[in-house]
Amino acid sequence: MKKLTVLGATGSIGASTLDVVARHPDRFEVAALTGNSRADLLYEQCLRHRPRYAVVGAEGAAALAARLRGAGLATEVLADPQALEFVAALPEVDTVMAAIVGAAGLMPTLAAVRAGKRVLLANKEALVMAGALFMAAVKAHGATLLPIDSEHNAVFQSLPANYAGDPAAAGIRHVVLTASGGPFRSVPLERFATVTPAEACAHPNWSMGRKISVDSATLMNKGLEVIEAHWLFDLAPDQIEVVVHPQSVIHSLVQYVDGSVIAELGNPDMRTPIAHALAWPERIAAGVAPLDLPGLARLDFERPDGTRFPCLALAYRALREGGNAATVLNAANEVAVAAFLAGKLPFPGIAAVIAATLDAVPGAKLPDLAAILAVDAAARRIASDQLVRRQP
Ligand code: NAD
Ligand code: MG
């Protein structure tokens, strides 16, 4: 029986995780669930999975605790600032799903890593903002890091089983990350200034949280994933190619020096990578329909359009610059996306704010966590100043 903590249980990835878990009561037991705001959903999830702990934002804690007691559950409700890190490192837990969105997930995910857990990483922002320190902690504490992002999970499945972070030794020429192109792939560029948050969040293939949906619309999601692939698989920037593939059936590919290309395919449903990582190296059912190739009939590919999607080049720039640049990129993106979702920044302003913030923060090395958090905070301030100048 594996014991699980699900960080960000009330989100899209969290809910898909619990869906897979519920299919295998003989394999998985839930020790802790966390959710920031949706206390009603967290309550329902607690009824279903009966965790020992539930972590929620301070406002909702007393009411949730009373409801759970009323329902006869012994679940303890925690809301103190250290609660997320506490449930990420519980001694009885072996597997932690890291599915909080954004920089808020860094400390709890790191806590799981430092406790040597099997960490299922959906929270790509944690790796982007703190890549070197994060990967060093994985090594130092013997954690097992398994990618949940569909592209990285596909790459993981397409690499040799004994891949040890040396692409040349493994005969790898390069890795291809596929991108759906998002909802604005073929929307006329003149319309970009007036596209709405609702349009940006209406993804053609995937149903996801609002932040990653906007990231998919700008292609910054793919940019963050390029940086994520660099850290997960020890790939140089020019060993990571992005190809737009609107059907999202090929989740990513590895090209080898002998011309072989190994890919992972499937219906676009996050329960596949989640089930893969939950059970790895075994395989379990995920509730995902089998792929119907004749039903698909065709698969399309194109190069990403740099004029439409400047965020992708900004991410490559940050990766090449190294040091604090990816931390700045991530922080500025979070600020800009939140402003766009709040109706305070036009869509093209997202890339503009990120570029201006990257220009404004001088490059520096990041020796430790304190330095990372300081750069994150400074970049957020600068990005917020940029917003004031770009009000629609
Ligand atoms: P979501 O917005 O649906 O859920 C986010 C979760 O994080 C919620 O449970 C929320 O309560 C919690 N949360 C948010 N802010 C918090 C805070 N300050 N403190 C504590 N908890 C907080 O997001 P999602 O789509 O599930 O994405 C989660 C992560 O997984 C993101 O990093 C995203 O990039 C990544 N991811 C998602 C998908 C997908 O299909 N949804 C695919 C690949 C990667
Ligand atoms: Mg992805």
Q: Tens digit of pLDDT for each residue in 34-65?
A: 999 899 999 999 999 999 999 999 999 999 99
The reported pTM is 0.98
Nearest CA to 332 among 386, 380, 389, 387?
Answer: 380
Domain membership flag for residue 38? yes
Q: What SS3 state is found at 32?
A: strand
The residue out of 89, 112, 147 marking a domain boundary is: 147
Domain membership flag for residue 305? no
Q: Which residues have their alpha-adjacent CB atom under 5 A from ion ligand 2?
A: 149-151
Q: Do 159 and 103 share a structural domain?
A: no
Indicate which ligand has the atom closest to the C-alpha of 15: 1
Q: Do 53 and 6 share a structural domain?
A: yes
Query: What proportion of the chain, given as a percentage, has pLDDT over 90?
Result: 96
Domain membership flag for residue 280? no
Q: Do 134 and 45 share a structural domain?
A: yes
Whether 392 shows a pLDDT value over 80: the answer reads no
> What is Dmax (Cα atoms) for the chain?
63
Q: Per-residue pLDDT averaged across 233-240, rounded?
A: 98
| Contact status, residue 47 vs residue 38, Cβ threshold 8 Å | no
Q: Per-residue pLDDT averaged across 87-116, rounded?
A: 98
Q: Do 243 and 354 share a structural domain?
A: no
Nearest-angstrom CA–CA distance, 16 and 13: 5
Q: Whose CA is nearest to atom 32 of ligand 1?
A: 123
Q: What SS3 state is found at 77?
A: strand
**Minimum-distance ligand 1 atom for the alpha carbon of 126:** 32
- DSSP H helices, 342-368, are 347-360
Q: Do 214 and 140 share a structural domain?
A: no
**Confidence (pLDDT) at 388:** 83
**Minimum-distance ligand 1 atom for the alpha carbon of 122:** 30
How many A from CA of 269 to the centre of ligand 2? 11
Pocket test for ligand 1, best of 17, 123, 212 (most atoms within 8 A of CB): 212
Q: Per-residue pLDDT averaged across 174-185, rounded?
A: 97
Neighbours of 247 (CB within 10 A): 17
| Tokens 């002998």, residue located | 258
Burial 203-217, CB ≥16 within 10 A → b, else e: bebbebbbbbbbbbb
**Minimum-distance ligand 1 atom for the alpha carbon of 36:** 11
Reported for 103-107, long-range contacts at CB under 8 A and 24+ positions apart, including other chains, are 103/129, 103/330, 103/331, 103/334, 103/376, 104/36, 105/7, 105/8, 106/130
Q: Do 107 and 15 share a structural domain?
A: yes
Nearest-angstrom CA–CA distance, 77 and 68: 9
Whether 207 shows a pLDDT value over 90: the answer reads no
| Contact status, residue 191 vs residue 281, Cβ threshold 8 Å | no
CA dist list (Å): 155 to 112, 188, 193, 302: 23, 32, 35, 20
Domain membership flag for residue 52? yes
Q: Whose CA is nearest to atom 16 of ligand 1?
A: 36
How many A from CA of 64 to the centre of ligand 2? 33
Q: Is the dihedral of CA 210, 211, 217, 219 positive or negative?
A: negative
How many A from CA of 9 to the centre of ligand 1? 8
Domain membership flag for residue 355? yes
The residue out of 122, 147, 172 marking a domain boundary is: 147
What's the chain's average pLDDT? 97
Nearest CA to 52 among 36, 71, 29?
Answer: 29
Domain membership flag for residue 301? no
Q: Per-residue pLDDT averaged across 156-163, rounded?
A: 97
Q: Do 260 and 159 share a structural domain?
A: yes
Q: Whose CA is nearest to atom 35 of ligand 1?
A: 122
Whether 206 shows a pLDDT value over 90: the answer reads no
Number of domains in the chain: 3
Q: Determine which helix (DSSP H) or strand (DSSP E) holds 270, and give its type and residue range.
A: none
Tally of residues, the chain:
392
Q: Do 161 and 124 share a structural domain?
A: no
Q: Do 66 and 37 share a structural domain?
A: yes
Domain membership flag for residue 183? yes
**Confidence (pLDDT) at 335:** 98
**Confidence (pLDDT) at 389:** 78
Q: Do 133 and 53 share a structural domain?
A: yes
The residue out of 147, 173, 198 marking a domain boundary is: 147
Domain membership flag for residue 281? no
Could you tell me which residue, 207 or 375, shows the higher pLDDT? Answer: 375
Q: Whose CA is nearest to atom 4 of ligand 1?
A: 11
Q: Do 115 and 17 share a structural domain?
A: yes
Q: What is the CATH number of the domain that holds 82?
A: 3.40.50.720
How many A from CA of 122 to the centre of ligand 1? 8
| Contact status, residue 323 vs residue 176, Cβ threshold 8 Å | no
Which domain, by its residues, includes 168? 155-267
Q: Do 16 and 124 share a structural domain?
A: yes
Whether 136 shows a pLDDT value over 90: the answer reads yes
Query: What proportion of the chain, given as a percentage, has pLDDT over 70?
Result: 99
Q: Per-residue pLDDT averaged across 78-92, rounded?
A: 97
Q: Per-residue pLDDT averaged across 332-344, rounded?
A: 98
Pocket test for ligand 1, best of 6, 12, 80 (most atoms within 8 A of CB): 12
Ligand 1: residues within 6 Å at CB?
8-14, 35-37, 99-101, 104, 122-125, 149, 206, 208-209, 211-212, 270
Indicate which ligand has the atom closest to the C-alpha of 251: 2
Whether 231 shows a pLDDT value over 70: the answer reads yes
Q: Per-residue pLDDT averaged across 160-166, rounded?
A: 95
**Minimum-distance ligand 1 atom for the alpha carbon of 14:** 26
Q: Per-residue pLDDT averaged across 172-199, rounded?
A: 97
